[in-house]
Amino acid sequence: MKKVLAFITIVITVGFLSYFAFIYYVPVSEGIRSGELIRLSHKGIVIKTWEGELSQGISGAQIFKFSVLDSDKEVIEQMKTLQGQYVKLTYIEKYRTFFWWGETRYFIKTIQKEKSPFNQN
């Protein structure tokens, strides 16, 4: 009976670790989005995560919601500086997320200031 219980425990543990490794290391997609950085906030009661929004249209009808991992300090600081400006974001999409990572499945890796196509000055 002890061997069966030990085997079941090992199978469950390996299954959980495999699932966690898949979520952590395997992106579903990678991409680039451009728009006006309209929001960056540090939200949460017990566990705080960085959440933001990118407006991809003139009227703000197309909003791209994203998260930034706490470990990406440089990206967070750049976003604070570029708030309200037209930027290009490089992101990865995860299959799922964990509550301590953020609310969305989209995680920003880099940010660059871009020239807005709406301002022709």
Confidence of residue 87 (pLDDT cuts 50, 70, 90): very high
Give 67-80 pLDDT, tens digit per residue: 998 888 999 999 99
Looking at 12-21, 78-87, 94-103, which range is the least confident one?
94-103
* DSSP E strands, 4-99: 27-43, 49-55, 63-68, 86-94
Assigned token pair, 77: 């600081």
**Where do we find the tokens 């930027």?**
87
90 and 72 in contact (C-beta within 8 Å)?
no
Give 8-52 pLDDT, tens digit per residue: 999 999 999 998 888 888 889 999 999 999 999 998 888 999 999
What the chain holds in terms of domains, given with CATH numbers, is 27-113 (2.40.50.140)
Looking at 76-80, 92-96, 113-117, which range is the least confident one?
113-117
87 and 39 in contact (C-beta within 8 Å)?
no
Note the pTM of the prediction, 2 decimals: 0.79
Confidence of residue 60 (pLDDT cuts 50, 70, 90): low
CA distance 101 to 56: 24
Give 24-33 pLDDT, tens digit per residue: 888 899 999 9
